[in-house]
Amino acid sequence: MISISNVEEINYLTNFRKKLHQFPELSGEEKQTAEALVDELKLCNPTTIITELGGHGVAAIFKSPLKGKTILFRAELDALPIQEENTFEHTSKYSGISHKCGHDGHATMLIGLARMLKLNPLLKGEVILLFQPAEENGNGAKAVLADEKFKSIKPDFVFALHNVPDYDKGTIIVKNNSFTTSVSSLKITLKGKTSHAAEPENGINPDLALQEIIVAIKGLADNNVDSETFTVVTTVYANLGSEDYGISADYAELHFTIRCWTAKQLKKIKEISSTTVQNISKKHQLKHTLNWIFEFDSNNNDDKAVDYIVKAANSNSFKVLEKQTPFKWGEDFGAFTQQYKGAMFAVGSGKETPALHNPDYDFPDEITPYGVKMFHSIIKLIHA
């Protein structure tokens, strides 16, 4: 049995992760990253490699001649439009783009798993290592699922993990049912009429409507984390008029993200927001548009899949923490868990590690073996 605890293997994976970190690519543009992964996967002798899945997605399929369950593990390919603030040797080579969610680390964990499957071939069934594109904008999972090339893949179970700072390194965090929130973003435009800045009464300025909408939409928040109706409302962008001092503005734009524990609550909030924007626009004689974008389904964890995760952690003597409420971020793996039995779990990435999406974040390589071991143990448990 080849072990991931081997120092040479850990160094190999660390170097690979740092290479991915240096050449980050944005959602939908992960061509080079996918190529680097395919090169690495080819060394692991999978039965098949599928490329260009839902964009630049890659799936490596390991098949045993003996019948058994099909298990899919997912990692992500994309980085973020954030300027890296770290000055270490493996800092991002691309200005304004960096891996600030640890997707370089998650992909490396699956490479570690592929290397283990090469040396310890599957005894039965099938394992699919899916490297999914465009997670950060919520498009990738849906695109992979809709891709014709994915139709031949019929997983019995799907699994994914995410590293989470502020928890001890290697702690396995689990939860039944909702694991992440349902998220939707809202883009509103308001259109009135310009006039001379000296005569705003002759135009229709969306300034008051903009204010009223912010107050009303923010008012839908429910901060009670223990409640089913928990709702987070965040204003992410606002714009009114232009820097022309002779003109009373005629245009405004407002963007929010809304997160709820449940899909049901999100649906309710969406309906109220739409009516509110409509009423305020009407009152101020403004034309408006309203679009819901960047939608993430909540991860719906299956009890049996969570049970496998807990057993896998126990078999490795990893600390397990059962979370009481879902994570507040959206994760598009939800599109998989809404369709297949499966679960997402988290691996603590250290109390001292900066938060996800912070400019000084970097994936801590010490947790890579935890991910590889968890996935490998899950295979062993399901194929036992």
Query: Measured from the CB of residue 337, what is the shortest distance to Zn ion in angstroms?
Result: 15
Q: Residue 333 belongs to what H/E stretch? A: none
- The residue among 101 and 233 lying less far from Zn ion, judged by its C-beta, is 101
- The residue among 107 and 254 lying less far from Zn ion, judged by its C-beta, is 107
Binding mask 87-126 for Zn ion (x = CB under 5 A): --------------x-------------------------
What is the three-state SS of 170-229? Answer: CCEEECCEECECEEEEEEEEEECECEECCCHHHCECCHHHHHHHHHHHHCCCECCCCCCC
What is the three-state SS of 91-158? Answer: CCCCCCCECCCCHHHHHHHHHHHHHHHHHCCCCCCEEEEEEECCCCCCCHHHHHHHCHHHCCCCCCEE
Query: Measured from the CB of residue 177, what is the shortest distance to Zn ion in angstroms?
Result: 21
Query: Measured from the CB of residue 11, what is the shortest distance to Zn ion in angstroms?
Result: 25
Q: How many CA atoms lie within 13 A of 127 on its CB side?
A: 29
DSSP string, 348-383: E--TTSPPTT-TT----GGGHHHHHHHHHHHHHHHT
Please give the residues from 147 up to 166 whose contact with Zn ion meets the rule CB under 5 A. none
Residue pair 155/74 in contact by the 8 Å Cβ criterion: no
Query: Measured from the CB of residue 379, what is the shortest distance to Zn ion in angstroms?
Result: 23
Burial 336-360, CB ≥16 within 10 A → b, else e = bbeebbbbbbbbbbbeebbebeeee
Tokens of 16: 């690979």
Query: Measured from the CB of residue 310, what is the shortest distance to Zn ion in angstroms?
Result: 23
- The residue among 58 and 356 lying less far from Zn ion, judged by its C-beta, is 356
- The residue among 20 and 213 lying less far from Zn ion, judged by its C-beta, is 20
- The residue among 9 and 297 lying less far from Zn ion, judged by its C-beta, is 297
Residue pair 333/344 in contact by the 8 Å Cβ criterion: yes
Please give the residues from 10 up to 49 whose contact with Zn ion meets the rule CB under 5 A. none
275 Cβ neighbours under 8 A, 6+ residues apart: none
Tell me which residue has its CB nearest to Zn ion.
101
- The residue among 230 and 327 lying less far from Zn ion, judged by its C-beta, is 327
- The residue among 174 and 344 lying less far from Zn ion, judged by its C-beta, is 344
- The residue among 101 and 347 lying less far from Zn ion, judged by its C-beta, is 101
Helix (H, G, I), strand (E, B) or coil at 162: strand
Tokens of 132: 């999914």
Query: Measured from the CB of residue 354, what is the shortest distance to Zn ion in angstroms?
Result: 13
Binding mask 285-314 for Zn ion (x = CB under 5 A): ------------------------------
- The residue among 166 and 271 lying less far from Zn ion, judged by its C-beta, is 166
Query: Measured from the CB of residue 80, what is the shortest distance to Zn ion in angstroms?
Result: 6
User: Which among 371, 382, 380, 374 is positioned nearest to 104, based on CA atoms?
Assistant: 371
Query: Measured from the CB of residue 360, what is the shortest distance to Zn ion in angstroms?
Result: 15
Q: Tokens 């590690």 correspond to what residue?
A: 353
- The residue among 101 and 220 lying less far from Zn ion, judged by its C-beta, is 101
Q: Is 53 in the site for Zn ion (CB under 5 A)?
A: no
Q: How many CA atoms lie within 13 A of 145 on its CB side?
A: 18
Query: Measured from the CB of residue 254, what is the shortest distance to Zn ion in angstroms?
Result: 23
Residue pair 119/8 in contact by the 8 Å Cβ criterion: no
Residue pair 329/182 in contact by the 8 Å Cβ criterion: no
Query: Measured from the CB of residue 279, what is the shortest distance to Zn ion in angstroms?
Result: 35
What is the binding site for Zn ion (CB under 5 A)?
A: 101
